[in-house]
Amino acid sequence: MRGDLHCHTSLSDGSVGIEEVISNAKLVGLHFIAITDHDSMSSFSRSRVLGERYGIEVIQGVELSAYDVKRKRKVHILCYLPKKPDRLVAICNRTTEQRKKAGIEMAKRVMHKYPIAAERITRYSFSSKCIYRQHIMHALMDAGYALSIYGEEYDKLFGSGEHSCNVPIEYPDVYEVLETVHSAGGIAVLAHPRVYDSFDLLDELLEQKRLDGIEVWHPRNQKGDSEHLLNLALEHNLIPTGGSDFHGMYNSSLTNVGKCYTPQKYIDLLFQLDKDVK
Mean pLDDT score, 188-192: 98
pLDDT category of residue 278 using cuts at 50, 70 and 90: low
241-254 mean pLDDT: 97
My answer on whether 143 and 176 are in the same domain is no
- Model pLDDT, residue 133: 98
Smallest CA-to-CA distance from 182 within 119, 255, 276 is with 276
Same domain, 183 and 86: yes
Beta bridge partners of 76: 65
Judged against a pLDDT cut of 70, whether residue 212 lies above it is answered with yes
Domain residues for the domain of 24 are: 2-92+170-276
38 secondary structure, DSSP code: B
SS3 6: strand
The string of pLDDT tens digits covering residues 34-83 is: 999 999 999 999 999 999 999 999 999 999 999 999 999 999 999 999 99
Question: For 142-175, what is each residue's pLDDT tens digit?
Answer: 999 999 999 999 999 999 888 899 999 999 999 9
Q: Are 47 and 22 contacting, i.e. CB atoms less than 8 angstroms apart?
A: yes
First-to-last C-alpha distance (Å) of the chain: 27
272 and 137 part of one domain: no
Inside any domain, residue 115: yes
Residue type, 262: T
Distance of alpha carbon 233 from alpha carbon 46, whole angstroms:
32
Mean pLDDT of the chain: 97
Instruction: Write down the pTM of the prediction.
Output: 0.97
Residue 100 CA, distance from chain mean position: 17
On whether both 86 and 108 belong to a single domain, the answer is no
